[in-house]
């Protein structure tokens, strides 16, 4: 039983007493105390489960078929996710605890593969490559696979397209340059995973800082050009970024000296349990957002003026929610993950909150990080399933498909529909200029001439001649108006040809030869009498039969043929046909599929 999400209670209005305070946030001082009592109203916001459709962007899953022990014994698919270390295309690549995510303007997704101790990249085409690290734990700078990491977690991209990595096991910040060089930077405390970069290239970290015998979670700033660290503190009556070096708290007469009264007070996040991953993000205005406990914090930076605001996030009946990842899109909308209940929540700038993806049997398992690209697509590191997922917002599917068709690059902001249409127009114009105008091909040859010609070549010609005549026949029959009945002997000869390459050339173009229902019935009857020995061609014939059944609503003729493929000795062929039979059954043909499967089981 899938547990449905419960209503979220969001604090939607707060009066901080200061001009310019955003709705839903209360202004705080550096020590975390409310400057003026905030008047707020808690109202339930209904949670709408699964507003977005979840798909696997990269990661390998195998399907195991299990006979149900309840009711009729029928095979049920069970997904089994695989972990490991392997590059390749999206469906074959293997990860081992993917955590941090980042997306650049070209749509490339960067992944911190924690237990493989390396940084991976997923191209828009789906190909996964390793940028730095080789699966061995260690600490070493260098180029590409010569570098060593120890449990990398957080990722962030700078305006110069430099990737910064939180090397949590080594307590360092690593910079991966576009040329592949890895350089180490030292923070002033132990980084906890949260990292963000503003428009000036400054790095912000959530760190564990020890002052005396106490460990505090603080917000620090690192300048990569100079290596100087600063922490956010309440000093001289206002929030400031104060320079800090490890060990200064024990040096006499320094501003951090523990024996001296009146030292700066860190803006401590007291609600956070140490060891949990913390989300930190920067918006388009340079404001910082992070989650601690059940509060969303925002640090507004306008020159030297800093203002810390807090917004309560309360969920009724789910007191054990554990916030893990955080991202802010161009419109100021915050997406946050609940790793305990495997769900994704969206928080509007005004404070309204809703669940956009709820946990399910095929959903997320201990998600860690979330990132958003320029088109509004949401990427999630599904740590428990060793994969990277993608969520497409409702209404954006058509725009994404048209943008890919028009070869539009990834932009800082989503393209307007007019831009997509103009791109499509340019593609069509280039195609028309390159393609020569059609010419009159003359009268079509009679089918009997083609039959005689093909049979002679198949019986006496060389292999290259046989392939050429099959291609000639296919090109001829692609034109509508041809009758396939007189060529039945030719097709039977081709399907029984001993050379698999000749059969492959026909089967690959078989769907192009079907123009109406009569042609589909002709091919179904031929394939019913054909017994294909090649394993790969069996799987292709399964695809052909499924296409004919769905295109012309001939499942009554196709399903009995598909069930016969279950008797095949190859396991991958049986798995392939079972997946299609299950999809046909779920589309409303239970009465057609179930009796045949039960009869086969007997």
Q: What is the pTM of this model?
A: 0.64
Question: With 0-12 CB in 10 A as exposed, 13-18 as middle and 19+ as buried, what is 74?
Answer: middle
Per-residue pLDDT, 436? 46
252 Rama class: left (phi>0) / alpha (psi -120 to 50) / beta: beta
Return the DSSP state at 85. -
Is residue 602 very low, low, confident or very high in pLDDT (cuts 50, 70, 90)? Answer: low
The pLDDT value given to residue 263: 83
- Judged by average pLDDT, the poorest of 266-280, 382-396, 448-462, 486-500 is 266-280
Q: Is the pLDDT of residue 445 over 50?
A: no
Q: Is the pLDDT reported for residue 425 higher than 80?
A: no
User: Contact, 371 vs 378, CB < 8 A?
Assistant: yes
Query: Which pair of structure tokens corresponds to residue 26?
Result: 């209360």
185, pLDDT greater than 70: yes
pLDDT of residue 18: 36
Q: Is 72:82 a contact under the CB 8 Å cutoff?
A: no
pLDDT in tens, 464-481: 888 888 888 888 787 776
Q: In this predicted model, what pLDDT tens digit does every residue of 226-278 receive, in sequence order?
A: 999 999 998 888 898 999 988 888 888 888 888 777 888 888 775 544 445 46
Length of the chain, please? 602
**Average of per-residue pLDDT across 399-416:** 53
CB 359, CB 342: distance < 8 Å:
yes
Q: What are phi and psi of 30, to 5 degrees?
A: -65, -30
Q: What is the DSSP string of 536-559?
A: HHHHHHHHHHHHHHHHTT-HHHHH
**Cβ(582)–Cβ(74) below 8 Å:** no
* Between residues 194 and 480, the one the model is more confident about: 194
- The pLDDT-based confidence of 12 (bands split at 50, 70, 90) is very low
How far apart (Å, rounded) are the C-alpha atoms in residues 221 and 228? 8
For the chain, what is the mean pLDDT? 77
Select the highest-mean-pLDDT range: 16-25, 52-61, 69-78, 271-280: 52-61
The pair of structure tokens assigned to 293 is 């406990």
pLDDT higher than threshold 80 for residue 569: yes
Most confident of the following: 153-162, 308-317, 358-367: 153-162
For residues 230 and 290, the model is more confident at: 230
pLDDT at residue 320 tops 70: no
């Amino acid at each position: 039983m899938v547990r449905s999400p419960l209503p979220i209670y969001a604090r939607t209005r707060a009066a901080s007493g200061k001009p310019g305070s955003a709705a839903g946030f209360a202004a705080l001082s550096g020590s975390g105390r409310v400057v003026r009592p905030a008047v707020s109203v808690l109202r339930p916001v209904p949670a709408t489960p699964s507003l977005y459709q979840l798909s696997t962007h990269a990661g390998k899953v195998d399907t195991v078929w299990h006979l149900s022990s309840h009711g009729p014994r029928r095979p049920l698919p069970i997904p089994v996710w695989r972990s490991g270390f392997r590059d390749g295309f999206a469906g074959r690549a293997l990860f081992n605890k993917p955590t941090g995510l980042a997306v650049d303007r070209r749509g490339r997704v960067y992944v911190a593969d924690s237990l493989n101790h390396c940084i991976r990249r997923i191209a828009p085409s789906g190909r996964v490559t390793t940028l730095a690290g080789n699966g061995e734990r260690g600490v070493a700078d260098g180029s590409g696979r010569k570098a060593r990491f120890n449990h990398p977690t957080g990722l962030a991209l700078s305006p110069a397209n430099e990737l910064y990595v939180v090397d949590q096991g080594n307590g360092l910040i690593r910079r991966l340059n576009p040329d592949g060089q890895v350089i180490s930077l030292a923070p002033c405390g132990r980084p906890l995973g949260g990292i963000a970069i503003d428009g000036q290239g400054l790095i912000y970290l959530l760190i564990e800082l020890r002052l005396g015998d106490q460990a505090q979670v603080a917000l620090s700033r690192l300048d990569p050009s100079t290596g100087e660290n600063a922490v956010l503190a309440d000093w001289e009556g206002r929030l400031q970024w104060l320079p800090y070096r490890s060990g200064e708290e024990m040096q006499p007469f320094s501003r951090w000296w523990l024996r001296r009264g009146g030292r700066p007070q860190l803006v401590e996040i007291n609600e956070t349990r140490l060891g949990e991953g913390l989300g930190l993000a920067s918006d388009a205005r340079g404001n910082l957002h992070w989650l601690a406990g059940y509060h969303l914090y925002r640090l507004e930076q306008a020159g030297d003026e800093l203002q810390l605001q807090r917004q309560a996030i309360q969920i009724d009946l789910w007191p054990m929610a554990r916030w893990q990842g955080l991202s802010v899109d161009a419109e100021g909308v915050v997406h946050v993950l609940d790793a305990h209940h495997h769900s994704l929540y969206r928080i509007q700038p005004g404070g309204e909150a809703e669940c956009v993806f709820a946990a399910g049997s095929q959903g997320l398992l201990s998600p860690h990080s979330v990132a958003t690209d320029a088109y509004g697509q949401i990427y999630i590191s599904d740590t428990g399933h060793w994969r990277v997922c993608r969520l497409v917002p409702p209404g954006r599917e058509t725009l994404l498909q048209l943008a890919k068709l028009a070869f539009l690059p990834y932009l800082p902001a989503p393209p307007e529909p007019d831009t997509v249409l103009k791109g499509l127009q340019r593609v069509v114009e280039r195609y028309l200029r390159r393609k020569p105008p059609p010419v009159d091909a003359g009268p079509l040859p009679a089918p009997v001439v083609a039959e005689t010609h093909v049979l002679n070549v198949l019986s006496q010609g060389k292999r290259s001649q046989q392939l050429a005549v099959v291609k000639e026949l296919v090109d001829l029959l692609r034109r509508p108006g041809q009758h396939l009945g007189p060529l039945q002997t030719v097709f039977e000869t081709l399907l029984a040809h001993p050379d698999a390459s000749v059969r492959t050339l026909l089967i690959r173009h078989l769907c192009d030869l079907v123009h109406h229902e009569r042609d589909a019935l002709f091919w179904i009857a031929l394939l019913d009498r054909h017994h294909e020995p090649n394993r790969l061609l069996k799987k292709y014939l399964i695809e052909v039969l499924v296409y004919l059944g769905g295109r012309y609503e001939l499942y009554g003729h196709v399903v009995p043929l598909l069930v016969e493929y279950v008797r095949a000795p190859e396991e991958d062929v049986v798995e392939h046909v079972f997946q299609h039979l299950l999809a046909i059954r779920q589309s409303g043909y239970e009465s057609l599929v179930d009796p045949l499967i039960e009869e086969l089981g007997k």
